[in-house]
Amino acid sequence: MINITDEGLGILIGWFDPDENRNWVMKNKSRELKDKRMTEKEAVKKFVKNEDFIAMGGFGHVRVSMSIIYEIIRQKKRNLTMAGKTAVHDLDLLV
């Protein structure tokens, strides 16, 4: 059980606990086996909207999907919030 000692303002990103996440996945995620491959252009158009919160893994330009970063720039997505890490080459380009 989580003891909430202080509450912030704003929209919660994610779930309160893992069980809540599991329940959401069981109700909302299709188990259908289908080809989900798509181009970067299609993926950014489908999944990245203006004012979204996005996060990238990797370190600097290594293991970061730079092709997605460049496609976000090409599609002129705006007002994104991004979770970064110590080296932020991808974030630098988006800014």
Distance CA 70, CA 46 (A): 16
- Residue 16: CB atoms within 10 A of its CB come to 10
| Per-residue pLDDT at 92 exceeds 90 | no
Write out the two tokens for 13.
């990103």
- Tally Cβ neighbours within 10 Å of residue 24: 11
Residue 58 belongs to domain spanning: 38-94
What's the pLDDT at 33?
92
If pLDDT is split at 50, 70 and 90, which confidence band does 93 have? confident
Residue 49 within any structural domain of the chain: yes
Give 47-74 pLDDT, tens digit per residue. 999 999 998 877 656 677 889 999 999 9
Q: Does residue 17 belong to any structural domain of this protein? A: no
Confirm whether 78 is domain-assigned.
yes
Q: Which residue has the tokens 């630098």?
A: 92
Quick: pLDDT tens for 4-47: 766 667 776 777 788 988 998 899 988 899 999 999 999 999 99
